[in-house]
Structure 1
Amino acid sequence: MTPETDEDYCMRGHRVPALEPELISDVAYRVCKIIGINKASFKKGKAEKLVSRLENHGIHLDVIEDDEWFDATRATVDPSKGMIYVPNKLYTELCRGKAEAVRIFLHEMGHIVLGHRPLLHFAEAQATLLEDSEWQADYFADAVMDLLKLPRSEAQMEFKF
């Protein structure tokens, strides 16, 4: 069995309409083109301008003080309101262009641009990977990072002795 039809697949998020990887990649490309997102958008000191451009497209960022943030998640989103909520420490890392913060931000943005709304139904069929909102948001984030040739992780210094 493939992961898409695996009877033992365990959802990580809400069940949403299935989206093929090619469609998610196409959405990532179009979002970048329409909003003007490029590799420089995530360079140190540029994220603030990106956040401002996103607001013109109905995507808003609410930065919560670290001492008020509930640490169960790194960030959260309300797709119906176009709101992404992040702790100040993550926003600071995003503004510094840190790869992990960029991926988390893009993941949350993916929930919005992919139109995620939980499905309320009594499906007899087992949910699949393609119906998992978390998998879709991860795929979107990775598609944008690949498209823009952004690093997936920070470069580390290696000392050879």
Structure 2
Amino acid sequence: MTSGNLAEFTLRGHRVPAIDRTEIDYISGRICKILKATKHSFSPSKIGMFLNSLEENGINIDIVDDEEWIDVARATVDPSTGFIYMPYSLYKNLNRSEPEALRIFLHELGHIFLCHRPLLHFSDKNALQIEDSEWQADTFADCVIDRLKLPRQGRQLEFKNF
């Protein structure tokens, strides 16, 4: 294995066109500017307005009753439709601006803004970290958190513990 972003990698998500951290950071900065996102946009008193502004721009949140949530992921997204699906408990924590909920939400936004579509199913080459949709979405979330100086909490867990 080589070091850095070009290391062979076991995919956690779909294989997508490669985007490195520098480009993801640039994209996250442009998105923050376009959406006029600031640290205060993610405060408990302002996050509702930020979520409404996303809906006005075609990104919708579909809240599912906790009892009906059957996905093993904490949240999920359909980048082609701009829908983010999450259980009510996560949505409630997002509205409280809890760091873990913010990171999960920003991760899902990353899938949308990085235009994730499973495109590279068949390749003779081993996958690289920079081709992993989950790594890219995690990196997008981390870049936004760093840029806006949002509070941090451990790394996102993609699957519920049973």
TM-score scaled by length of structure 2 = 0.90
More displaced stretch, 54-63 vs 91-100: 54-63
Say whether 1:5 aligns with 2:10. no
Unaligned runs of 5+ in 1: 155-161
Runs of 5+ unmatched residues, structure 2: 155-162
Looking at structure 1, the residues matched to 71 and 16 of structure 2 have their Cα atoms a distance apart, in angstroms, of 26
Match of 2:134 in 1: 134
**Structure 1 residues 14 and 71, CA gap change in structure 2 (3 angstroms):** closer
Q: Aligned residue for 1:157?
A: none
Whose radius of gyration is greater, 1 or 2? 1
For 1:5 and 1:23, how far apart are their aligned partners in 2?
Answer: 15
In the comparison of the two structures, how many residue pairs are matched? 153
Distance across 2 between alignment mates of 1:127 and 1:62:
32
Provide Cα deviations, 1:55-88, integer angstroms capped at 9, x if missing partner. Answer: 1222111111111111511000000000100100
Return the offset for 1:10: 0.6
Letter in 1 for 2:150: L
Contact 2:15 2:121 (C-alpha < 8 Å) held by counterparts: no
How many angstroms does 1:122 deviate by? 2.2
Match of 2:41 in 1: 41
Q: Take 1:120 and 1:30, find their aligned partners in 2: how far apart are those partners?
A: 26
Which stretch shifts more, 36-45 or 127-136? 36-45
Deviations 1:119-161 (A, max 9, x none): 144211001000000000000000000000011129xxxxxxx
Q: Distance in 2 between matches of 1:12 and 1:65?
A: 27
The TM-score normalised by the length of structure 1 is: 0.90
- Confirm or deny: 8 A CA contact 1:79 1:115 kept in the other structure: yes
Cα distance in 2 for partners of 1:33, 1:98 equals 23
